[in-house]
Amino acid sequence: HTQQSLDTDALSDLVSHIGTARRIVILAEGPAQPAAYNLVHFLEQGNLPVYIARSGLAGLARTVHTATDQDLLIALDVADEAPYIAAALKEAQSKGITTAIIAGSPALPSTRSADIILTAHASPDIGIPIIAMEAIIFVLAKALRWRYQNRFAGAEQAIAKLSAKFQR
């Protein structure tokens, strides 16, 4: 039986930055993209200003170029599938932008390039870090719902109402 722990101080720090950011920008490539879409879904439910960067090098460069020090960049990295994620985080930091990483392993280069680091334990099987990242996102979503209850109140009902209205 192994127990995996999450850095609760880093989690709390990320929750605080999410609450004060002008815009939350999600960076993800390859196998991290499904987790990124789940994160966007959770953030949208709290009426948080979220944007997901277009995939590819040019999309990533454009996103970092247009970001300001009032934004928060959150990168998701499963297995160093996109080595330029670390470079993008470093560039964002040089512009005074707060950066965070949700990573599949603490050994990934991207974890050395972010201000706030949430990682799963290393595993040679890519499926395990993907599942662990989803678990981290789930815990983050729960923490956000607890910390910013007023932002999330009624969001699901409002979305359901709009969905029904669109079907008429």
Q: For each of the domains in the chain, give its residue range(s) and CATH number, in order of start.
A: 12-151 (3.40.50.10490)
Average pLDDT over residues 45-59: 91
Residue 144 has pLDDT above 50, yes or no: yes
Cα–Cα distance for residue pair 101/89, rounded to 1 Å: 9
Residue 95 has pLDDT above 80, yes or no: yes
| Residue 144: closest CA among 133, 134, 154, 152 | 152
Q: Which residue bears the tokens 């991290």?
A: 32
User: 24: which 2 tokens?
Assistant: 């939350």
Q: Which amino acid is at 79?
A: A
How does strand 50-52 pair with strand 23-28? parallel
Say which residue, 31 or 127, is predicted with more confidence: 31
Cα–Cα distance for residue pair 114/111, rounded to 1 Å: 6
DSSP 8-state assignment for residue 51: E
pLDDT of residue 2: 42
Cα–Cα distance for residue pair 19/70, rounded to 1 Å: 11
Residue 3 has pLDDT above 60, yes or no: no
Q: What is the pTM of this model?
A: 0.88
pLDDT of residue 120: 78
By mean pLDDT, which of 20-24, 93-97, 105-109 is the weakest?
105-109
pLDDT of residue 50: 96
Cα–Cα distance for residue pair 76/80, rounded to 1 Å: 10
**What backbone torsions phi and psi does residue 23 show, to the nearest 5 degrees?**
-150, 135
Average pLDDT over residues 134-142: 94
